[in-house]
Amino acid sequence: MRGKKAKVVEGNAQLLCSDALTEVFHRLPARTLASCRMVCKSWMSLLSDVHFVHEHLNRSQQKLLLFANDRANDRSLAMVLADANGYMYQLSRPLVAQTLFVHNSCNGLLCLGDSKGAVELLNPTTGESLVLPKPMYTAGSSQFSSCNWHCLGFCPSTKQHKIAHFYPGAHAGSLEVLCEIYTIGDRDWRQIGSLRGAPIDRGIHVNGSVYYLTRFRYISSSRINCLDLQREKFDVLMLPPRKTYGGHCSLSELEGKLCLLVVDGALEGIPRTMDILMLDNDDKQSWTHRYHISLPPLMQSCYFTPRHTLFHDSKIWVQLFARNLYCYDPNSNSEELEIACPESEFPFSIHTFVESIIPLRQDNFIKKIQ
């Protein structure tokens, strides 16, 4: 009897220690956990568990990532704005010969592309990367292309990451857009169909769906095409009723919701303001006007659209040009955008970012420790 009781007590003690250790790991930053995986097999098993990885991700704080190409030194830099005081640090990334750009960021993973149409996934926190098979269509890919782009997304119900690739139809001038999907862990891309409406901007990922804005002859006849990544089915959203769409429109994600950015101004005039309308996540039909922002004097509006607009640290961050980052504080009495940081010495793009230990290869760390 004493032997059985001793084993029960020992088992309970180990369980208690395991629970305490798990809670400690939950409180550590992802960069530290990436190193802890190398300590022993038991830690490796715990820190590679799918439930733990996503629970740690949900507790992590969102940050602002600046990704830039330093062409003079032939390198790519991933810098993270860590706090409101402007503290920054550089994340690890493999050395590459060609210039890369970021399609988008999701759950701490970056979807990278190059001018030849190659696609690479990178976890800059752990330094792990994964080169994807070549998509079916690769011509004309660029950082600013609206007719050939990729978007990384996440399906909450299946815990799968998928990359959607949108590219033009075979006939020149056609409004048909084809789509193929790659699921991380699969071997090949799968073509899932086509939809009508050429993108006027690169799409974004919000809550398991990819959205992009289309335009036909007039802005008022535009619509928002939507791809549900779990069902791999398309849907259409109409633009909210508005007195005028005199300037440019683009999509963004703020506070976990899809937003429509409307820059007012005549085609040949200087844009004055930007309105942000937010979509209701429940009915996918109701739009709410959330913010009205005054823009600094810029170039003519026919050449202007916000490149990236993000919500971070209770503020709205707007990238207007390749090297300029502005900030708007909704809690202030001013509607003006303020310069967030001095002009960068080389072009960059900004993305919301969460440090994570999501693995790109399930057996990667096991091989290292054996």
* Pair (302, 184) in one structural domain: yes
The domain that holds 248 is classified in CATH as 2.120.10.80
Question: What is the predicted pLDDT for the residue at 247?
Answer: 59
- Using N-to-C axis directions, what is the helix angle for 50-59 and 2-27, rounded to 10°? 40
Sign of CA dihedral 32, 37, 39, 43: positive
Question: What is the predicted pLDDT for the residue at 14?
Answer: 52
Question: What is the predicted pLDDT for the residue at 90?
Answer: 62
31 within some domain: yes
308 within some domain: yes
Question: What is the predicted pLDDT for the residue at 2?
Answer: 47
* Pair (47, 64) in one structural domain: no
275 within some domain: yes
| Per-residue pLDDT reduced to its tens digit, 201-254 | 778 899 999 998 886 545 555 788 899 999 999 998 888 877 666 557 788 888
Question: How many CA atoms lie within 13 Å of 90's alpha carbon, on the beta-carbon side?
Answer: 7
95 within some domain: yes
SS3 for 193? strand
* Pair (27, 91) in one structural domain: no
Residues 6 or more apart whose Cβ sits within 8 Å of residue 10:
none
79 within some domain: yes
Q: What's the domain count of the chain? A: 2
* Pair (328, 292) in one structural domain: yes
DSSP letters of 210-241? Answer: EEEEE-SSSGGG-EEEEEETTTTEEEEEEPPP
Q: DSSP code of 336?
A: B
* Pair (46, 164) in one structural domain: no
* Pair (153, 197) in one structural domain: yes
Which residues of the chain fall short of a pLDDT of 50? 1-2, 5-13, 15-16, 94-95, 97, 140, 142-144, 217, 300-303, 363-370
* Pair (20, 66) in one structural domain: no
Domain of 148? 60-354
* Pair (67, 54) in one structural domain: no
Question: What is the predicted pLDDT for the residue at 164?
Answer: 93
* Pair (170, 21) in one structural domain: no
- Report H helices in 38-128: 41-47, 50-59
Sign of CA dihedral 106, 102, 247, 304: positive
* Pair (307, 224) in one structural domain: yes
* Pair (116, 25) in one structural domain: no
Least Cα distance to 166 among 200, 133, 116, 132 occurs for: 200
| Per-residue pLDDT reduced to its tens digit, 14-34 | 544 677 888 888 888 888 898
Question: How many CA atoms lie within 13 Å of 260's alpha carbon, on the beta-carbon side?
Answer: 29
* Pair (54, 148) in one structural domain: no
5 within some domain: no
186 within some domain: yes
